[in-house]
Amino acid sequence: MSVHIPYGRQSIDESDVAAVTETLRSDWLTQGPKVAEFEAALAAYCGARHAVAFANGTAALQGAYFAAGFKPGDEFITSPITFAATATAGLWQGAKPVFADVDPATGNLDPKAAEKLLTARTRALVPVDFGGLPADLGAFRRLASGRGLLLIEDACHALGASLGGRRIGSVSDMTIFSFHPVKSITTGEGGAVLTDRDDLRDRLTQFRTHGIRRGEDWVYAVESMGLNYRLTDLQSALGLSQLRRLDSFIARRRQIARRYQEAFASWPEIEPAACRPEESAWHLYVLRLKAGFAPFRQEVFRSLRRAGIGVQVHYIPVYWHPLYEKMGYARGLCPRAEDFYSRIISLPIYPSLTDAEQDVVLATLRGILDGLHADRHPG
Ligand SMILES: Cc1ncc(COP(=O)(O)O)c(C=O)c1O
DSSP letter for each residue of 134-174: ---HHHHHHHHTTTT-EEEEE-TT-TT-EETTEETTSSSSE
Q: What separation in Å is there between the alpha carbon of 193 and the centre of ligand 1?
A: 13
pLDDT value of residue 379: 40
State if residue 107 touches ligand 1 by the CB under 6 angstroms criterion.
no
Question: What is the Cα–Cα distance from 155 to 150, expressed in whole angstroms?
Answer: 15
Q: What separation in Å is there between the alpha carbon of 214 and the centre of ligand 1?
A: 30
pTM recorded for the entire structure: 0.97
Question: What is the Cα–Cα distance from 260 to 233, expressed in whole angstroms?
Answer: 38
Mean pLDDT of all residues in 331-347: 98
Question: What is the Cα–Cα distance from 10 to 83, expressed in whole angstroms?
Answer: 19
Question: Phi/psi zone of residue 318: left (φ > 0), alpha (ψ -120 to 50 degrees), beta?
Answer: alpha
Q: How, if at all, do strands 309-310 and 212-214 pair?
A: unpaired
Residue 291 has φ and ψ, to the nearest 5°, of -50, -40
Question: What is the Cα–Cα distance from 72 to 94, expressed in whole angstroms?
Answer: 4
Quick check: bond before 315 cis, omega within 30?
A: yes
Q: What separation in Å is there between the alpha carbon of 371 and the centre of ligand 1?
A: 35
Coil, helix or strand for 278? coil
Q: What separation in Å is there between the alpha carbon of 274 and the centre of ligand 1?
A: 23
CB 289 within 8 A of CB 271: yes
Residues 6+ apart with CB under 8 A from 312: 7, 345, 346
Question: What is the Cα–Cα distance from 205 to 190, expressed in whole angstroms?
Answer: 15
Bridge partners of residue 166, in order along the sequence:
163
Residue 59 CA: which ligand 1 atom is closest? 11
CB 282 within 8 A of CB 256: yes
User: Model confidence over 361-375: pLDDT tens digits?
Assistant: 999 999 999 999 776
Q: What separation in Å is there between the alpha carbon of 231 and the centre of ligand 1?
A: 15
Coil, helix or strand for 122? strand
Q: What separation in Å is there between the alpha carbon of 26 and the centre of ligand 1?
A: 30
Residue 179 CA: which ligand 1 atom is closest? 10
Q: What separation in Å is there between the alpha carbon of 178 and the centre of ligand 1?
A: 6
Residue 85 CA: which ligand 1 atom is closest? 4
Question: What is the Cα–Cα distance from 358 to 373, expressed in whole angstroms?
Answer: 23
Question: Phi/psi zone of residue 107: left (φ > 0), alpha (ψ -120 to 50 degrees), beta?
Answer: left
pLDDT value of residue 115: 98
Q: How many CB atoms lie within 10 A of CB 258?
A: 13
List the single range of 7-16, 99-108, 366-375 with lowest mean pLDDT. Answer: 366-375
What is the maximum alpha-carbon separation in the chain? Answer: 82
CB 318 within 8 A of CB 80: yes
CB 149 within 8 A of CB 124: yes
Residue 341 pLDDT exceeds 60: yes
Mean pLDDT of all residues in 252-263: 96
Q: What separation in Å is there between the alpha carbon of 176 and the centre of ligand 1?
A: 9
E-assigned strands of the chain?
5-6, 50-54, 75-78, 96-99, 122-126, 150-154, 162-163, 166-167, 174-178, 191-195, 212-214, 220-222, 285-288, 309-310, 344-347
Residue 6 has φ and ψ, to the nearest 5°, of -75, 170
pLDDT value of residue 5: 96
| Percentage of the chain lying above the pLDDT 70 cut | 98
State if residue 136 touches ligand 1 by the CB under 6 angstroms criterion.
no
Q: What confidence tier does 272 reach under pLDDT thresholds 50, 70, 90?
A: confident
State if residue 312 touches ligand 1 by the CB under 6 angstroms criterion.
no
pLDDT value of residue 98: 98
Bridge partners of residue 124, in order along the sequence:
76, 150
List the single range of 36-50, 73-87, 274-288 with lowest mean pLDDT. Answer: 274-288
Mutate to test the pocket of ligand 1, among 81, 83, 126, 133 (most ligand atoms within 8 A of CB): 83
Mean pLDDT of all residues in 133-141: 98
Mean residue pLDDT of the chain comes to 96
State if residue 8 touches ligand 1 by the CB under 6 angstroms criterion.
no
State if residue 206 touches ligand 1 by the CB under 6 angstroms criterion.
no
State if residue 283 touches ligand 1 by the CB under 6 angstroms criterion.
no
Which residue, 303, 290, 306, is CA-closest to 342? 290
Question: What is the Cα–Cα distance from 253 to 8, expressed in whole angstroms?
Answer: 11
CA 93-95-96 angle, 5° bins? 145
pLDDT value of residue 378: 43
Coil, helix or strand for 201? helix
